[in-house]
Structure 1
Amino acid sequence: MNTLSKIEGALPLPVSVDDILAARTRISGSIVKTPTLISQTFSQMLGCKVFLKFENLQFTAAYKERGALNRLLQLDDAAKAKGVIGASAGNHAQGLAYHGKRLGVPVTIVMPTTTPIVKVTQTQGHGATVVQYGEKFDDAYAHARKLEVEQGLTFVHPFDEPEIIAGQGTVALEMLEDAPEIDTLIVPIGGGGLFSGVGTAARAMKPDIRLIGVQAELYPSMYDFIKGADLACDGDTLAEGIAVKQPGELTRRFAERLADDILLVTERRLEEAVSLLLQIEKTVVEGAGAAGLAALLSYREQFVGRNVGLILTGGNIDTRLLANVLLRDLARSGRLARLRIILQDRPGALFHVARIFDQEAVNILELSHQRIFTNLPAKGLSLDVECETRDGAHLQRLIAALGAAGYEVAPIEVA
């Protein structure tokens, strides 16, 4: 531990459970008390009792409005009249914009240019002025701090302020009151505001609870800080809501003091988690919101026999992106496939191949063939067939039948 960490570790944390209890009283009636429900299917699948906190059911479809409202309610009249500014990849923006409009506080939000369009339009729909700047959160943040000074606005940080942290901690109060048997919480970490608030409240209510943070593998900023690692923070992650390159000055102190571990999850696991939540729980969750389940899927042996709480932090995912995630998951499971079949270019060739698909009861969705741009002989062609099967075993039976009929077949794999 370096000297700075030792100093920070000796300082009292700037948010207590009393602050979180006060925040709950302050925001009560303006925030949805979302349900905490046990998932029987995930529990059976993963060998532990799984509880889900449906924060995607907030009005803005994310927990972020808890902290934003708590912060807005503590502004003085002059600051309220002048207005506030924030930087956000989306959910903090919507929470700030929605409650700012309710309270009559002008709101300006700086968002990265890569923010999903659904989050941009929803933020504007709540009456905020949206400025798009830079590709990453850190670019948007720097620009927002510049505008703060130029326009005399009050900056509302998405994670690194005591009032924000206290507001987010109300999530844990509700979870542990509704499901006191929870002995482990897996909490997504971007900047660390949610983990800080939830960890503070949970440890006060249940001192022996396990607190596990989870980050996208492409953005391991808090992981690097806690573990003393030096992994790169960059890339196009599905979990853009937790794609933060630098943890907060305050929140890293909470994580260092409270986290039992921080786990990293791959993009593939994030995609799988988003898909499973829609298939099993019939609930739409964005990449960051599915990070807790992704960690449980990736490290399931660590949680066997435990009572695990997961926070579905948000549901603001672009519909086109969601469609891609679901189709890719179908492809990985073998229910959707694209096969490349080598044929001889002669009458009836396509008919004979189609007959095998019919015999194996496989539905053909799309066909495309290539005669020109190929290294096959002039009398050969490649046929790409997109098809729908019942499962991976059904697909393998089709491939075997095509092979037995003398065809060269190669599946086109999904990344």
Structure 2
Amino acid sequence: MAEHFHLNTPLLESVSMSKRVGATVYLKMENSQPSGSFKIRGIGHLCQQLATQSKGVVCSSGGNAGMAAAYVARKMGVPATIIVPSSTPQLVVQRLQDEGATVKIVGKVWDDANAEALRLAETEGITYVPPFDHPLLWQGHATMITEVAASLGPGVKPGAVLVSVGGGGLLCGVIQGLKDTGWSDVPIIAMETVGADCLNAAVKAGKVVTLDDITSEAKCLGAKTVCTKAFEYSQRSEFTIISEIVTDQEALQAVETFLDEERVLVEMACGAALAAVYTGLIRRLQKEDETT
């Protein structure tokens, strides 16, 4: 059996982004993973722990988690059922089917699809693969930061880590990775789009809240409720989590600028993080930091 399903991805310096920020910017190229995103780290790890003897796996995801679950299940030789909301593009459904997964379309948003996935896991006796809310996922995602530490070399610590937040799985994994490498004091800038901003809403309310609806076009960020652990981390003084939001327009503009400058096309969920650089948000945070 493969040691793990994910690749050790390149850490590339971006000259143009570094120029904008006035500090070296590195890009962790998770888009080069076999399933197209970082999700394969956590989902691969979870499936190896929980699904080796399984009759099958079921995952609720209109995107990257579903792709990762389908890929890992195919490699492990177990059947995969992926439940997606009706907002999922036909192209994604096709790609999931190409991976050998059975695709079911249920409900309008991820939360609806997830309720069906949980029901199936219960009634069919198959392994439920959560897209973002599980300690094994976070352990798997944490490998991203240990790789970054190895790439940067001893004695080099990032000034900040920039991530997009959907349900909070990546955020929890990054925090786990920062703890593992002794970098708990490195600030995390957590980016969301308006209309898919469940973490930002929770931070503002001081408690976990559920959004009425997902109105952002960044569908991969479309969880109505952030996972409790991500919110808890945001409230703890040992970590600095800066929650910020950008508009869909700013995220889309960031995708276009990134394509022009780096010759890489990413989805709007990534655009939310990139927008922190392109809108001048990072510069603003740097200035605020200097004045405090």
TM-score (norm 1): 0.63
Q: Greater strand share, 1 or 2?
A: 1
Cα 1:256–1:28, aligned 2, differ >3 Å: closer, same or farther? farther
Aligned residue runs from structure 1 range 335-354, under 5 A: none
Show CA shifts across 1:104-141 (max 9, x none): 11111100111122221111111111101111111111
Cα separation, 1, equivalents of 2:166 and 2:178: 19
Is the CA contact (8 Å cut-off) linking 1:221 and 1:233 kept in structure 2? Answer: no
Aligned-partner SS, 1:113:
coil
Cα 1:269–1:113, aligned 2, differ >3 Å: closer, same or farther? same
- In structure 2, the partner of 1:207 is 184
Structure 2 residue 249 is the aligned partner of structure 1 residue 268 = yes
Cα 1:301–1:27, aligned 2, differ >3 Å: closer, same or farther? farther
- In structure 2, the partner of 1:380 is none
- In structure 2, the partner of 1:227 is 204
Aligned residue runs from structure 1 range 2-81, under 5 A: 28=3, 30-75=5-50, 77-78=52-53, 80=54
Cα 1:36–1:233, aligned 2, differ >3 Å: closer, same or farther? farther
Cα separation, 1, equivalents of 2:19 and 2:226: 35
- In structure 1, the partner of 2:283 is 301
Show CA shifts across 1:260-300 (max 9, x none): 21111111110011111111110110111222111233313
Cα separation, 2, equivalents of 1:30 and 1:235: 31
Is the CA contact (8 Å cut-off) linking 1:212 and 1:263 kept in structure 2? Answer: yes
Aligned-partner SS, 1:74:
helix
1:133 to 106, 120, 124: 106
Displacement of 1:302:
3.4
2:268 to 265, 287, 293: 287
Unaligned runs of 5+ in 2: 288-292
Displacement of 1:155:
0.8
Cα separation, 2, equivalents of 1:293 and 1:77: 37
Structure 2 residue 122 is the aligned partner of structure 1 residue 143 = no
Cα separation, 1, equivalents of 2:63 and 2:81: 13
1:251 to 212, 230, 242: 230
- In structure 1, the partner of 2:163 is 187
Cα 1:134–1:75, aligned 2, differ >3 Å: closer, same or farther? same
Cα 1:47–1:231, aligned 2, differ >3 Å: closer, same or farther? farther
Show CA shifts across 1:359-387 (max 9, x none): xxxxxxxxxxxxxxxxxxxxxxxxxxxxx
Cα separation, 1, equivalents of 2:263 and 2:131: 29
Displacement of 1:76:
5.6
Cα separation, 2, equivalents of 1:290 and 1:67: 22
Indicate the RMSD between aligned Cα atoms, in angstroms: 2.1
Letter in 2 for 1:69: G
Is the CA contact (8 Å cut-off) linking 2:44 and 2:69 kept in structure 1? Answer: yes
Displacement of 1:46:
3.1
Displacement of 1:174:
1.3
Show CA shifts across 1:37-67 (max 9, x none): 1111111123332111111111111111111
Cα separation, 2, equivalents of 1:183 and 1:32: 25
- In structure 1, the partner of 2:141 is 168
Letter in 2 for 1:249: T
Cα 1:296–1:45, aligned 2, differ >3 Å: closer, same or farther? closer
Cα separation, 2, equivalents of 1:102 and 1:33: 18
Is the CA contact (8 Å cut-off) linking 1:113 and 1:135 kept in structure 2? Answer: yes
- In structure 2, the partner of 1:370 is none
Cα separation, 2, equivalents of 1:46 and 1:189: 21
Show CA shifts across 1:63-109 (max 9, x none): 1111111011112654x2x1111101211001111111111111111
Aligned-partner SS, 2:25:
strand
Show CA shifts across 1:178-236 (max 9, x none): 13342100111111111001112114422321112111111221112222177955344
- In structure 1, the partner of 2:84 is 111
Is the CA contact (8 Å cut-off) linking 1:196 and 1:255 kept in structure 2? Answer: no
Structure with bigger gyration radius:
1
Letter in 2 for 1:268: Q
Letter in 1 for 2:76: L
- In structure 1, the partner of 2:194 is 217
Cα 1:85–1:267, aligned 2, differ >3 Å: closer, same or farther? same
Is the CA contact (8 Å cut-off) linking 1:186 and 1:214 kept in structure 2? Answer: yes
Cα separation, 2, equivalents of 1:135 and 1:290: 23
Identity %: 30
